């Protein structure tokens, strides 16, 4: 996914309309990335085994993961994939 696609998917997951709020950028804003962690109850772990030293982000709800040397990117990847699962929306959006 491109940076724009990841940002759009994360904005959708957080019910933010990109054309209303161009300041939304969880790839570079730690607080916005942490909001995704809290919403989807993501688990972050560092794997320091060269040559694949990466952050791995997973969710207890589904077999999806994000992995990157950049923690915010791994969070966004996992959140975007998790948000795309239709059956999961009842768990993360109780009012839906």
What is the CATH number for 49?
3.30.2120
Burial 12-31 (b: 16+ CB within 10 A, else e): ebbebeeeeeeebbbbeeee
Mean residue pLDDT across the chain: 85
For the cut 90, the answer to whether the pLDDT of residue 95 exceeds it is: no
What domain range includes position 7? 3-92
Q: Which pLDDT band, with edges at 50, 70 and 90, does 76 fall under?
A: very high
Q: Is residue 32 within 8 Å of 7, Cβ to Cβ?
A: no
The tally of domains found in the chain comes to 1
Per the model's pLDDT, the better-predicted residue between 47 and 49 turns out to be 47
Q: Is residue 72 within 8 Å of 28, Cβ to Cβ?
A: yes
Distant-in-sequence, close-in-space partners of 37: CB < 8 Å, separation ≥ 6: 44, 57, 75
Cα 48 from chain centre: 21
Mean pLDDT, rounded, for 33-53 = 90
């Amino acid at each position: 996914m491109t940076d724009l696609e990841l940002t759009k998917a994360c904005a959708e997951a957080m019910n933010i309309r990109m054309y209303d709020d161009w300041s939304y950028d969880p790839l570079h804003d730690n607080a916005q990335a942490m909001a995704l962690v809290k919403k989807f109850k993501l688990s972050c772990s560092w794997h320091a085994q060269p040559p694949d030293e990466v952050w791995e982000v997973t969710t207890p709800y589904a077999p999806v993961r994000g992995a990157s040397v950049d923690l915010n990117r791994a969070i966004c990847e996992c959140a975007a994939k998790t948000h795309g699962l239709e059956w999961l929306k009842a768990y993360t959006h109780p009012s839906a």
